[in-house]
A and B are shown apart, each in its own frame.
Chain A
């Protein structure tokens, strides 16, 4: 039941927080206790028993969740970052902090559901439902142009996901799968004709590309980050909510390997463009939040390159990078929120020389920026490196272009540190207070943990990546011999399709 509780605990906490909104102290304690409990559950996910219960038997839908595989790493990163986000939300949001916290917790439950779902409809349900807290956070607590940003976000997300729904519903009918369960689907969907797979994959890809996000479907992200609440807590959620890459990894490619193989060259090119575009966008930004939004867009491009390279190392690296960037990007948005708290501005021109008056803030800012740009030993490096390395095996040119973005990251990262913390101007601000230390503590732990201790988490991701490459090999093999060769026919396949959870 661990996976189920990982979804239920934050959800119940969200409801409690709303009920207790009038007693500030109790509400804060409950919210944080719920977040910590969720983190504990997330740590317990590896090796936990998958859960499945009938949900809509007439349609072959069961409520199946499994906390093993890539989900264990991603849910851990989400649960870890939710703690600083909540701390900031509870203290820095003046009006309606309880609502803010409840929306964050609801989104946490939804994200856990997206990552752990093992039934395609359940996956889609969480995918869509998680949109609502994000929209409300932006619309209720956002800046001046929040309504425009909300509309843009809604247009992109909903249009994309409805295409996805067409493909999902057609997938079962066309393949004749017994249910929407991932194993039932994976056994039969790769046998669909290449043309059918291509169209179905394009449908799925439209929905997932918006939330990867990939150029040219990315522009909602920058506006969302710019208009979100200045504390940065809502942006942490934004950096958690880039779930498109996971969709491709866990569903799109393994379900429709032949279709994915046909479309991948286009997608990997777009991802490489995204990586460069984001890097140049960051270099050209004068607004701190837009800067971070573009920088993280560049990361998502590299993740895309890792995914669409469709090589085992790249898939592992992309998922690891996805989890690691939740920590580094989210942490940097929180640092940005702390800067805003001091200067009431996101304009980079209003900063400079902060390191003199606030050495601790500058030191932690530097650490997070280094993690953000992929310095070895910190969180983003292992994933970034492996994404690109994997992509080089199958698609050297896009990988080479994306590598340029890594070089550019060094430029904009150091540039950012100089413009804010160093330089001739002498902006005097308060250093970190006790609360902010606690806010940044999980970020520092996460940045180091993902940077140094990559092996065990990478192994858990690999258990799932191997399924994806297995499906890809199956397609490659069926070109040469009859389906079912290589011992991949139905019964043994069913046994290999587990993520290493307790039997």
Chain B
């Protein structure tokens, strides 16, 4: 490759594409993710020094790998800890053999996927905090710099750097093996990986539009990671479920904000602005998830199925609320939470009338865990209004208005309080 802007940006692009494979392969050779990343970074520094002069080599991935391996052998050779010359030579020879064996396997092509899978599961190791897992995943698998991660998550660069250093130390101290878990272990550890990917997605998705393209980029990166994982663990229904959920949610990105940046709720969105390509991809991923689930859907697949009900409806009125209510019922059993229950109440009221919905909302109110959550009160107000209990509805709209921090939402709720009273 030549031409096309600044050389450092071209090298950055190569890095984004190659870094995960590079680190994954080096981690398997050395058994040490931290060392693997250092070696890969050294290779990147060498590229930044040399490529602007020499041009980007024909096979930049192979160049980076060769450079990183030489560096690894160099380090083994200079290892100060080995005072015995023979031990030092043995270590160096061992490193060479490991490298040669790895190269041979890589040439066969089969190992690469396993390496990447190993890197994903190591980055999302259950020993690590969620924040550390997110930072490590974006760093090792997304090729993002510490600065980019910090910008995306609105935290300081040293904070992110700290998280990564600590995470690597934790992995090292626990002697966490670098490998993809198999069988039951895989089922056990998969949710931790899916959680990280969905968290990255939501971090980008929850950001208001136009704030910074970097944050929207997070959604794309999460989707990319999800698709990579789906390719590596194609028999896992929940991976496809998560991909489906993200593709369908991402399809609504352009419709989620109005012209002055205000949030537009799902049922008010202009469906013509939903991205049909992502909808199609999402529905296809959901179909894969459903086939593999054999009736026992996991939580991501259920959420994707709910999203799909909306995606399939050409207008808000055509929404299959009975199915959504049934799916929320299933979700409430898989992952019980008051917020899921509130959503179920809305779906039930849309499908079968406000009485059933209100019953569920009253139960939630009595239970008290959503106390102070404005949506609980605005949903209750809405149901009361539909049942003609105007005075109570008005009071409840006003209560909800007092609880929201969003000015625009407050105006809307007060307006509804006014309308229901008149």
Co-assembled chains A and B: no
Interface residues in chain B, defined as those with a beta carbon under 8 Å from any beta carbon in chain A: none
